[in-house]
């Protein structure tokens, strides 16, 4: 399907529907990469392919819409937006960029010499009516010919309307009946103007549409735009986002808050369970270790251009899930270590050493079971395969790396940071039993 004139008269939007997954061997990302590579060879035309967002945003066009708004004029706005567009093209982070505010339309300004027109007895209304009859293609009357009605249009021939020099052949009648050249009464100038005057939040605006480079996420592109806006945007200019980028910014902030709340709630629950602040701190050490493993895997797969290996909404949800899964390993070890201190009077080093030995097999079996259940997400095909890969790679890699660090790093930290639990009186070997007789 092809839609011409969208989003502007000099552009066209082509929608391509791929065959069913069972009828093709290449993914959507592979097809897009080949199309973009071939499109670069087309001279004097800017062509870019992009996938529609999986979540409907109500917007058409590329996934990134960077909005620059100001109360200043469109000429100043176009100058600032043009410099920002040049910086984006030179950054190497975008495969396609386009600015909707373009001064590509000629606007005619007509200045009438009122004194000279008055000397001929010609009014402003006469000049306006004459120009309208020559150029406007208005219907002045209808005529019936053999039972059919035809419009009578007042307009000069097409060849007399194509250039400003055609005005030399236009005449207007003076009050004494003579014909006066319009060119002697009217001065015409052409000035470039934008074909549309976009507005955003009741301010003059310009939108830069962009598609990130393959292997680069929308989040990375948004971060680059936010960082460089401080330097490239002058005082009095604001920025915002449209389309998928806007939704990612809004949802990303919400997910960040959700992530922090998840960590805080888990910490508070553990503090209540262990009746200590130190033990939950030791358990939560596994969280940054697991997250570092997940992010390392994302960067590795993103470097080779794997689709979905980006920090997107799905991978962020995977990180939240990872927090809950990885803390279970720390709980298993710290719980046994606490019981060893309370019931057997062992110190922290002896307790965590015993806990590591006792809980080694359960931790490995639990991790293996969870990873085995999530591995199919990494090899998923069909619709939604990219989003499933994003979530799966985060959890699988985070669990693998987090478990490894939990087994070796957590015991060391526990021996220095964890609380020293005093043995319960009934299990304290230093307390001698009370001797006495029982009378029956």
Mean pLDDT (the chain) is 80
Mean of the pLDDT values across residues 219-224?
A: 84
Mean of the pLDDT values across residues 9-15?
A: 72
Please list the residues that pair with 220 across neighbouring strands. none
Place of tokens 């008269």: 9
pLDDT tens-digit series, residues 411-430:
888 888 777 777 666 555 55
* Tokens (6 digits) for 381: 């095909």
Among residues 327, 334, 335, the alpha carbon closest in space to that of 266 is found at 327
Confidence of residue 67 (pLDDT cuts 50, 70, 90): very high
Residue 142 DSSP one-character state: E
Q: For 275-427, CATH number?
A: 1.20.1640.10
Same fold, 105-193 and 275-427: no
CA 67 – CA 288 distance, rounded (Å): 35
Indicate the fold that domain 2-104+196-246 takes in CATH: Alpha-Beta Plaits (3.30.70)
Query: Is 3.30.2090.10 the CATH number for 105-193?
Result: yes
Confidence of residue 68 (pLDDT cuts 50, 70, 90): very high
Mean of the pLDDT values across residues 68-77?
A: 90
pLDDT tens-digit series, residues 362-414:
888 988 998 898 888 888 776 677 778 888 888 999 999 888 888 888 888 88
* 209 prior amide bond cis, ω within 30: no
CA 80 – CA 432 distance, rounded (Å): 85
Cα R_g (the chain), whole angstroms: 37
Among residues 119, 106, 122, the alpha carbon closest in space to that of 163 is found at 106
Confidence of residue 114 (pLDDT cuts 50, 70, 90): confident
pLDDT of the residue at 304: 66
Mean of the pLDDT values across residues 73-87?
A: 90
Among 2-16, 74-88, 378-392, name the one with the lowest average pLDDT.
Answer: 2-16
Mean of the pLDDT values across residues 306-312?
A: 69
CA 210 – CA 98 distance, rounded (Å): 7
Whether residue 159 is predicted with pLDDT greater than 60 in this model: the reply is yes
Mean of the pLDDT values across residues 126-154?
A: 80
Helices (H), 275-384: 278-284, 286-303, 313-344, 348-378
Confidence of residue 167 (pLDDT cuts 50, 70, 90): confident
pLDDT tens-digit series, residues 261-270:
888 898 898 8
Contact 218, 310 (CB under 8 A): yes
Whether residue 58 is predicted with pLDDT greater than 80 in this model: the reply is no
Other C-beta atoms lying within 10 Å of the C-beta of residue 272: 10
What are the residue boundaries of the structural domains of the chain, listed by start? 2-104+196-246, 105-193, 275-427
């Amino acid at each position: 399907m092809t839609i011409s004139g969208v989003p502007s008269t000099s552009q066209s939007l082509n929608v391509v529907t791929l065959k069913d997954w069972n009828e093709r061997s290449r993914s959507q990302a592979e097809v897009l990469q080949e199309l973009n590579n071939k499109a670069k060879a087309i001279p004097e035309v800017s062509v870019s392919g992009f996938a529609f967002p999986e979540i409907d945003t109500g917007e058409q066009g590329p996934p990134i819409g960077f909005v620059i708004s100001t109360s200043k004029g469109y000429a100043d706005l176009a100058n600032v937006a043009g410099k920002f567009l040049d910086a984006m093209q030179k950054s190497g982070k975008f495969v396609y960029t386009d600015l909707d505010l373009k001064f590509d339309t000629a606007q005619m300004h007509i200045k009438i010499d009122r004194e000279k027109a008055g000397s001929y007895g010609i009014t402003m209304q006469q000049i306006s009516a004459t120009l309208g009859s020559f150029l406007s293609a208005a219907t002045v009357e209808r005529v019936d010919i053999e039972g059919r009605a035809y419009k009578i249009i007042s307009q000069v021939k097409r060849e007399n309307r194509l250039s400003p020099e055609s005005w030399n052949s236009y005449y207007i009648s003076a009050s004494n009946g003579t014909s006066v050249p319009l060119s002697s009464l009217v001065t015409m100038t052409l000035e470039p103007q934008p074909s549309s005057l976009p507005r955003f939040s009741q301010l003059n605006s310009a939108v830069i549409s962009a598609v990130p480079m393959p292997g680069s996420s929308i989040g990375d592109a948004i971060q680059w735009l936010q960082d460089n806006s401080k330097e490239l945007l002058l005082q009095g200019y604001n920025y915002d986002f449209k389309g998928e980028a806007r939704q990612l910014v809004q949802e990303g902030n919400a997910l960040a808050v959700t992530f922090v709340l998840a960590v805080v709630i888990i910490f508070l629950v553990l503090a209540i369970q262990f009746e200590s602040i130190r033990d939950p701190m030791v358990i939560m050490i596994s969280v940054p270790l697991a997250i570092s493993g997940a992010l390392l895997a994302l960067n590795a797969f993103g470097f080779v251009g794997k689709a979905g290996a980006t920090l997107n909404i799905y991978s962020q949800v995977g990180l939240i899930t990872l927090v809950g899964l990885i803390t279970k390993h720390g709980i298993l070890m710290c719980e046994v270590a606490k019981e060893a201190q309370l019931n057997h009077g062992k110190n922290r080093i002896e307790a965590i050493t015993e806990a590591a030995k006792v809980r080694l097999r359960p931790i490995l079996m639990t991790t293996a079971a969870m990873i085995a259940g999530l591995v199919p997400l990494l090899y998923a095909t069909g619709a939604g395969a990219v989003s499933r890969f994003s979530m799966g790679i985060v959890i699988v890699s985070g669990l693998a790396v987090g478990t490894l660090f939990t087994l070796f790093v957590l015991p060391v930290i526990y021996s220095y940071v964890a609380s020293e639990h005093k043995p319960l009186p009934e299990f304290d070997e230093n307390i001698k039993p009370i001797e006495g007789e029982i009378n029956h």
